[in-house]
Every structure is written in C-alpha cells, then in structure tokens.
Structure 1
Amino acid sequence: MKSGRAWNWAGFWALWSLSIALQVVLAGRFRGFVGDQMIFDSWMRRLQQVGLAGIYESPRVDYPPGYLMILDLYGRIANFFHIRVVPGGLWIKLPGIAIHAVAMIAFFLLAKDTPGKWRWFVVALFCLNPGLLFDTAVWGQVDILPGILALSAVMALRKRAGIAGALFSSALLSKFQSIVVFPVLAVGEVREAVTAGHFRRLGRFLAGVAVPLAAVALFFAMHGSLSNMVEMAYMRPTAEYPFLSMNALNIWFYLFGTPPRLPDSTVLFAGVTYKMLGMFLLFLATVHVALYLWRRREITVEALLKASTVLSFSFYMLPTEIHERYILMALIFTIAVSLWDKRWALLAAGLTITSFYNLYAVCYRALDPSLGLWMVYINGGIFVAMLIMTKKEMVLPHPR
C-alpha cells in the first residue's frame, strides 16, 4: 500500500512538474494581456507605499483583498531579491503560476477517492488544461485562485462544514464571483439541518463563513477604510461595464441578434431591460439548482459539485455584463464532476475548447463574430445538457 501511494505521488509530481514547466515557458514566451498585468504591477507598487489598509484610496483597485495580500507579499520578496517585475514578462505572472502550483496539489488531494486510471485522466485534464494554463501563464490572471477555493469549499461541505464555510469566505475575499456557489452551500446545509433535525452543522458552516470575513472587516475597520474597501472591491465592479456582454460567448453574443456592446439598460418591453431579463434567467437557474438538491435522496459530494457547475455556468451564460474569464470557474467544477460521472468529461472537453478560444481571441483581439457564434452554440449545447442531466436526477421527492 505504501509503495502504491508513493507511486501515485511520484506520478503526480511528474505531471505537476510538466505543468509548471509549460507555464514558465509560456509566461516567458508570450506577453499576454499586458493591460491587466500593468494594473497588477501598479497595485503591487502602490501596496509597498501605502500598505493594504490604504490601497483602496487608489483609483481602479477593484479586487477584494485576498489577491492583494499575495501581491503585497510578492512585492516584498521581489524587492528583497532585486527582481525587476515588468508587465509582459515572466515575473509579473509568477504569483499566478505559484497559485496554480498549489491548486494542482489541492485538486490531486480532492481526487483521492477516485480509483484507477480515470483519476489520472481527470487530474491531467486539470493540470494541463489549455484554458486554465492560458489564463495563468499567458494572460497573467489568477482566476485559478477563487476557482480552487470555491471547489474546495463545496467538496469539504459534507464532512467539514466549518472548514467549508471558511474556504468559501476565502474565495469570496479573492473574487466576488465566488458568491455563485453560496446558494449550493446554503441549500445543502439547510436541507441537512432539516432532515437531521438539528442545526449544529449549519451553525458550524455559518461560523466558518463569518471568521475570515470578520477578521478582514476588523482589519479595515481599525484603519478606517472598511466602507471604502467594500465599495471599491464589491459594489462598484457590479456596474463597471453596463453592456450585454464583455466578450463572454454567452446568450448575449449575437445569439438572438444582440450585439454584445449594446447597453443592458436598453428596454425590451414594458420597462423590462436586458439586465433585468438576464437576472431573472439566473434566478430561474438558481431555483433549478435548489430543487435539484432538495429532491435528491441524499446530498452527496457529486450532487453538490453538479449543482455548483450548473450555477457557475449559468452565471456565465445568462446575466449581462459578464467577462470572458468567468467561464473558468464553470470549467474547474465540470472537470471535478468528471471524477464521479464520466459523461461530464465530454462537457469539460467542450468547455476547454470554448474557454481557450474565448480567452485567446480576447487577449489577441481576434474575437470573430462568426467563429465566436459557433462557440456560443457549443456553450449553449453544454448548458442545456447540464440542465437535462440534473433534471433527470430529480426523480425522488424530498424524504419525509
């Protein structure tokens, strides 16, 4: 048994090393999305001047404090070793690569209960996924951070509710998009509390959610910058780009003849705007997910992951004002579902294709409406397949 575990880890470290090597080569070879990298570089330099407590006095700082803490630490390390961090080069992308390295270890541990060769296929799909590698090593972004934290929170919910809550809060502190998995966590915990007849687990979950948020809130409150942080990191970004789509290949990308740059305040009928319609569609998807969880015989990790996948992909496909990179959280969850249900590996393969094209085309200003619309068709087919497969599992009423 020990030799088997040693072999498993040896194989994983080989796969992990290959992924890191690819990311380093890609990061050094391609400049990527220099605009985002310049923003991160300016934040890192500003953090060295005013610290985390004062960073939200600066304009255009619209990320929660989680990643800013990492940038602050990286800036101090770079200064100590006299590393010249330049947008477009390897060093500006190193924090994302380091986060990706940790995320691969976390995914391998989360996949430990999947036996045989299938586990290796799914782990390889995660570690060498073109969409995820492009986001980190070429674009220079860190969407892997909220993605792996949200995934870990969902997978921890059944056995460690308090830890799941803390992981969810950590994801929320790294990117506001992580809020999309909260309905899954909440419905899962409430149903367990109702069916078990006690609320102890629910209390542990809520306490886990509260602790990281309270600690960060206390830090900013002590420096008099809490309201500013909340406004800049969580409130303002929700209305930063008031268009149907910010390059996301979803239902608003020409599918119904709607140009993506059309203002989403445009009225469709009787005072109903595109934004209102998109939010209503997301609400319907949330109801679908809630019913899916409530009508399962048992809340399993597989069920929680499928619900999270549907909701995170709904968040990409249905509302307005969505960015191209929001698809990556759905991709991460779809890969994880494949550990339990092999049919979802086909969906993960499809999302790998569409996410890679979406990121590549936006990064290099090559987003073609005609080819992009074909990617929308693929995304739409995947979305419908997710809804159908989860609907078919809603066959039993809630146990009495």
Structure 2
Amino acid sequence: MNSRTVIVIGVSVALLMTAVELASVAHYDGLHWDIRSFAARAIQMAYRGPANYYDPRLGDDFYPPAIAYDQWLVGWLGTILMPGVAGFRVLMQVPPIICSVLLALTIFFVALRTDTVQRAVILMLLYVLNPGLFYDVAVWAQNDSMYALPMFLSFVLVLRGRPALGWALAALAILVKPQPVALLPVLGLITLLRQGPLQWTFSLAAVAAVIVIGFLPFQLNHHITLVPDVYAQIGERFRSASSRAFNFPALVFGMGVPDSVRVAGVSYFVLGGFLVLATYVFVARLLLQHAGDRAATLAAFIGVLGFFLFAPRMHERYGYAALVFLIPIALESPLLMTALLLLSAAFYSNLLYGMRGIEELRFGASRPWIVICGALLNLTVFAASVWYASYRLPALGSVGSASEERSETAPSAPATEQ
C-alpha cells in the first residue's frame, strides 16, 4: 500500500470522526453547568481580556491559561457570529473535537513507524470508536482531549530524542489542566536515562518559557505568585477522596467522602500520595530494567492509571489519558487488549454515572454496586498490567526475535538509540 493511500485512509477516518462529533454536539445538550460556566468565562475574556480573568470577584470557576485562551477565541467569535444556544455550544466544542481528531491521527501515524497499515488503522479505530472517549467530547461536551493531545505528543517526542520540544508540550498540557502532571515522573526518568545534561537543561528552559509566555498576559494586576496560586485554587475546589471517580478511595470509602478521612490514623490525602509514590517506584523499576519503547509506553500507562486510581480528588473524566496511553500497545497481547476493553467499559460507565449524578444533584457520600464494580474493574486492569510488566515483558525480551521487535506498536525510539 503506497503512502498516498495510507494518508487517504487516515484523513478519511478523521473527517468522518469530525462530522459525527460535530453532529453529536449539536444534538446533545451537554452538562448545562459546565457549558454555562464556560460561556460566561468566554464572554468575560472577549470583553475584559486576560488581565481580569483571575479576578476573585468573578468567582473561582476559572481554568489554567491555555483553556482561557480557548475561551477568549470562542468568546470573540461568539460576539461576531452571535450564534444561538446550540450554535454557541458547537462553537465551544470545536477545539476539543479538533484535538480529538488529531489524537486519532497521531496514534495512526505513530503506529505506522513500526507496524503494518492494517494494525495502525485498527489502533486508530480503537480510539475513534471508544464509547467513553467519544462521550466525553461529543456528548458531555468536555475538553479532556485538549490536554491529552499535547500530553501524548510530549511522550512521543521524548521517545524520539526531542526532549526539549516534548517537555514544551508537556508544559502546554499542564497549562490546559493540571492532570498531565501524572506523566511528568515518567517523562523525567526517560529523559534522564536517554539524554545528557545539555538536553536536560534545554528541557527545563523549554518548560519555563512555555509557562512564562502562557501566563504573561494574565499576570497584569496580579501578584508574582499567580502561577502557584491558580493551581492551588483549582486543587482546593474538590476535596473529596474520590470526586465521582471509580477508583480505590471510591471502593473503600465511597464517593463524596472528604480526603481528610483517616485510615489507621493517616488521612487519605497522605495515604493516596504514598500509593501514587509506590506506583512511580514500580514505573521507575520498569524503565530501568527495560530500555525499549514498548516498555516505556506501558510504564506511562501504568503511571497515569495509577495516578487516577490512588490520588485523591479525582473526577470520572480523569481516566481519559490512561486509555490514550493503553491504545498504542493494546494489540501487543490478549491481556492488554482485554485490559483496554475492561478499562473502556469502566470509563464509559463512570461518565454515565457521574453525569447523571450531577444532573440529579447527588453529591453526598455513596457507594452503590456500580461504583464497586467499576472500581474493581479499574483495579483489576491495573493489577494485570503490573503483572504483565513484571513477568511477561522479561519473557518476551528474552526471545529477541525480529518479529517481536517489529510488533512493537509503541512510539519508536530515536535513530541514535541502541
């Protein structure tokens, strides 16, 4: 199959995906609270500019600056086009839909570097046809694809030996939402293992430049501590052990329980931090023992999923990135494919349950059967992935066959890596 046919396949699927998501956004109402808040902030940005975005008198329902820029664009277009309610909702979702489509194409073209066109198409379809990922963007009208795209691209670029650009995109992802911080320990260790001090310096400079440039228009009329203040305020909004996520604290305590709840005299906020740290210790061990990109992708998936499962204050939608990192390696083994199916089912159920709970104003502590089953599914996937990384990767690595190397669907390593 020639390159032109490959490009036509990828672009055709992406265009069809765009049309379906746009039609869905126009048809479904989304979550009216989020849409109303986003629209109000978009109009505020259009008329008052970024210097007044973090004005405490306007409430605390703000976002990091990258989303604020998106709101600025949407608000400006809204004042020109003056669309109706449905039209403005579609206008708000155009950037997340574009990011979703670009994510599908990224998965496709990254897979093409190490695998066949047929398998690359299958991997792209595993993203496009995933019900939870579709529901998040096209039905709930959320913007999780906007941080998942630079998050995944940053990982790909670091693997390909371009750490400065990769870390710049990682910083951009955090300027969208704080959740991509879950990937930073993995990116950091990969950079330390594969690059020298000069590249470490360039990477740190790239992060600093993106953060400074991103926040600069918002800094006017604000204290120099605006950056940490913004993220501290965002982190303090929801202080539950589990904010509607099907994860470990939801299984143990139920949803809506404050993260100050104690286990053997220790608050879950502290206990969750230790569990996340333990996850990254395992990830570090995995990266130190296996130098290949397949192991790195598996490590990134385990790190991101572990953060979602054990960190406090997690929402149902924060499992989005874990699915994105599992898809490129899903065809590696039946176990990983099964893990993708189970994780997708749990994520989709979590979104349905969470949105219904918000619409029905159910915010109290609860632990119904669906929460228990969903949390057990997610924890089972995590445990199976850890087992696979501990026992199957060494066995596969000892084979060392050419077919094994070719089957690696994770992003390829830089050409200089041996």
**What count of residue pairs does the alignment treat as equivalent?**
384
Would the aligned equivalents of 1:154 and 1:304 in 2 still touch at CA under 8 Å? no
Matches within 5 A, 1:164-313: 164-193=166-195, 198-224=196-222, 226-232=224-230, 234-253=231-250, 255-256=251-252, 258-269=253-264, 271-296=265-290, 298=291, 300-313=292-305
Would the aligned equivalents of 1:242 and 1:321 in 2 still touch at CA under 8 Å? yes
1: distance between equivalents of 2:174 and 2:158?
A: 16
Are 2:349 and 1:357 aligned?
yes
1: distance between equivalents of 2:123 and 2:334?
A: 9
2: distance between equivalents of 1:313 and 1:20?
A: 27
Unaligned runs of 5+ in 2: 398-418
1: distance between equivalents of 2:94 and 2:217?
A: 27
Change (3 A) 1:388 1:201: same
Change (3 A) 1:7 1:78: same
2: distance between equivalents of 1:362 and 1:27?
A: 19
Would the aligned equivalents of 1:146 and 1:175 in 2 still touch at CA under 8 Å? yes
Matches within 5 A, 1:136-175: 136-158=137-159, 159-175=161-177
RMSD: 2.3
Change (3 A) 1:79 1:342: farther
2: distance between equivalents of 1:277 and 1:176?
A: 20
- TM-score, normalised by the number of residues in structure 2: 0.85
1: distance between equivalents of 2:169 and 2:338?
A: 28
How far has the Cα of 1:77 moved from its partner?
2.0
Matches within 5 A, 1:12-31: 12-31=10-29
How far has the Cα of 1:104 moved from its partner?
2.7
The percentage of aligned residue pairs carrying the same residue is 22
Per-residue Cα deviation, 1:195-253 (whole angstroms, up to 9, x for no partner):
xxx42222232222222112224444455355345313x11222222222111011122
Change (3 A) 1:92 1:207: closer
Unaligned runs of 5+ in 1: none
**One-letter code of the match for 1:47?**
M
1: distance between equivalents of 2:314 and 2:394?
A: 29
How far has the Cα of 1:321 moved from its partner?
1.6
* 3-state SS of paired residue (1:380): helix
* Greater mean alpha carbon deviation, residues 72-81 or residues 166-175: 72-81
1: distance between equivalents of 2:188 and 2:331?
A: 23
Aligned to 2:8: 10
Change (3 A) 1:292 1:394: farther
Would the aligned equivalents of 2:41 and 2:62 in 1 still touch at CA under 8 Å? no
How far has the Cα of 1:343 moved from its partner?
4.3
Aligned to 1:380: 379
